[in-house]
Structure 1
Amino acid sequence: MGYYQERDRSITNYQMFELGNTGLSFRGPQPHTLAQGDYFTCLGAAQTFGCFGDRPYPNLLANWLKLPVLNLGYGGAGPSFFLHNSALIDYINRGKFAIVQVMSGRSESNSLFDTGGLEYIRRRSDGEQLGSEPAYQELLTTCDRDFVNQIIAETRQNWVSSYQLLLSKIKVPKILLWFSEREPDYQLTYNNIYCLFGKFPHLINAQAIAQIIPFANDYIQCVSTRGMPQLLINRLTGYPTTLNLAYQRPDLGDKTSFYNDYYFSPEMQRDAATLLKSACQQYLY
């Protein structure tokens, strides 16, 4: 079923399906064809998956372009997730073109943490698995600022290298998408973990983006907060409902609320699709 479907079943049906022999489940609807050049792909994290919405930007574009989409949005994914799962790159390269979301830096490995390309990480020193928030919070609490800066710089450079490699492996036209509530340029501070990470995509700044843009055919920047926070509506009753955004994640605490204040709203999804449409159209023929 998948984590998001289990957590969000009262809100929406993601029509999850297992993709070929990858062993991975993705959001549907499953494309009716995956023949060479008969679909396009969108790869990214939860923002591409489209939590709490019936029509994320990949689905909107598929409808507008009259072309099936393979939505490869995967919760917590960073660029190295797709490098670790090379079968996904084969699917991407069989499509007509690809939209590549700018993903979080906290899903990238460094000398302290092995992420496997996802947000839930393994601490190298003792093998303990934990979320990126408590892992980096401990780093902030126990280490001096110079060491924290060193780890952040290392993580960003690894992220850049992973993106450059991923984009070089994608042979079809690729549109790099910055999709966020903030501009790329931000200044990290050390007050707490949220100031360190910044808004999604965590840890990533304009300097990091500038190093990967040349590896894409197009770059689209969507900065929006429309519809946030999003009131959660039970799809069966039509009434507001609560949901714990940290479902089965005790490391994140209890985040039960009537509102989604993290995943991007349906209005934001439409904003992204609107900005992407013309860039996609040039690759249809």
Structure 2
Amino acid sequence: MSYAVSRADTLDYAPCHYGGSKLVFRGPAKSTDQDYVAVIGGTETYGRFVARPFSDLVEDRLNVPVVNLGCQHAGIDAFVFDPAIMSVAKGARLTVLQVMGAQNMSNRFYRVHPRRNDRFLGPSDMLRSIYSEVDFTDFSFNRHMLSTLQMLSLDRFSLLRDELRRAWIARMKLIQRTIDGPFLLLWLREELPNGLGAEPLFVGADMIAEVADQALDVIEVPVRRAGGDLEGMVYGAMQGSIAAQMLGVETHHLIAEHLSKALAEHLKTGA
């Protein structure tokens, strides 16, 4: 059964920080003074409305501490420009890097908030010139802005989409160099697209192939949002529609199964 509860009874995510980072992660905080695996990712890795996200399930299976560096609403920018979190990743025996969408990072066309990367800060002069009829002060979130621009002109939007894809490849190569240690890519490939496309947004297999040459492995897991299947999820009485957009309990178990197998093999070989 699912659990629609009062706000006072929702999950305690034990919010925590690592190092001097301002990013808020799901706790309790794990020690980084011994061998551990680090998992970097966005809302899916954080595991909102799920009592035990896939990082906890992997820890149970492997009996190795797993540091959940999943941050809600984060894209690549939140991590790659945060020295404290990159230090945690460097110190890990292995790092798992979730493949995040290309929409939530600053690029030649627009700027995003440095920590909450889904927030739109403003367009560049280039984007203003391409969409001269648009009042960009109407937008607070990237997805709203992108959806509007796509509806206005598919041809013009293709310029923006192509730029996001190029920027994503460059940023992924940068975070890999910054981690400077063994890592796996976790590709949570959504099966059902939304209006802008399937998650991770604007990222295709060709792009992942281009950035996967330094990875130990690419773990591809087909996933779906919970939708009407909120079995086992814990959410407030007014949060059902939000919970439906998250990964459900069964999906977290599926991810843990795939990821545990890959990690066990690479930990065994001393990667």
TM-score, normalised via structure 2 length: 0.83
User: Could you say what secondary structure the match of 1:277 adopts?
Assistant: helix
Q: Could you tell me which of 158, 162, 170 is aligned with 2:171?
A: 162
- What is the CA deviation profile of residues 226-273 of structure 1, one whole-angstrom value per residue up to 9, with x for unaligned ones? 8643437796xxxx85334xxxxxxxxxxx63x722111111011011
Q: 1:243 to 1:214 in 2, by over 3 A?
A: farther
2:47 partner amino acid: G
Show the counterpart of 2:132.
Answer: none
Aligned match of 1:147 in 142, 153, 156? 156
Q: Which moved more, 1:153-162 or 1:121-130?
A: 121-130
Partner of 1:277: 260
Gaps of 5+ in 1: 1-6, 187-193, 245-255
Shift of 1:179: 1.1
- Please give the residue correspondences for 1:77-116 in structure 2 after superposition, counting only pairs within 5 Å: 77-116=74-113
Aligned equivalents of 1:175, 1:8: Cα separation in 2: 36
Q: Tell me, which stretches of 5 or more residues in structure 2 are unaligned? A: 1-5, 125-134
Displacement after TM superposition at 1:160 (Å): 0.9
CA distance in 2, matches of 1:233, 1:210: 35
Tell me which of 126, 133, 144 is aligned to 1:134.
Answer: 144
The structure 2 residue matched to 1:42, chosen from 39, 42, 48, is 39
3-state DSSP class of the match of 1:106? Answer: coil
- How far the C-alpha of 1:199 sits from its partner, in A, is 2.6
Could you tell me whether the CA contact under 8 Å between 1:18 and 1:26 is conserved in 2? yes
The residue type equivalent to 2:164 in the other structure is T
Q: Partner residue of 1:21?
A: 20
How far is the alpha carbon of 1:10 from its aligned partner?
A: 3.8
Deviation of the 1:24 alpha carbon: 2.3
What is the CA-CA distance between 1:141 and the residue it aligns to? 3.8
The alignment partner of 1:90 has SS state of: helix
Cα RMSD of the aligned pairs, angstroms, is 2.6
Is the 1:168–1:215 contact (alpha carbons within 8 Å) kept by the matching residues of 2? no
Deviations 1:68-101 (A, max 9, x none): 1211101121112211212211111111111100
Q: Tell me which of 48, 52, 55 is aligned to 1:55.
A: 52
What is the CA-CA distance between 1:123 and the residue it aligns to?
1.7
Using the aligned pairs only, state the percent identity: 24
CA distance in 2, matches of 1:161, 1:43: 18
Q: Which residue of 2 aligns with 1:264?
A: 247
TM-score by length of 1: 0.79
> Between Structure 1 and Structure 2, how many residues are aligned?
250
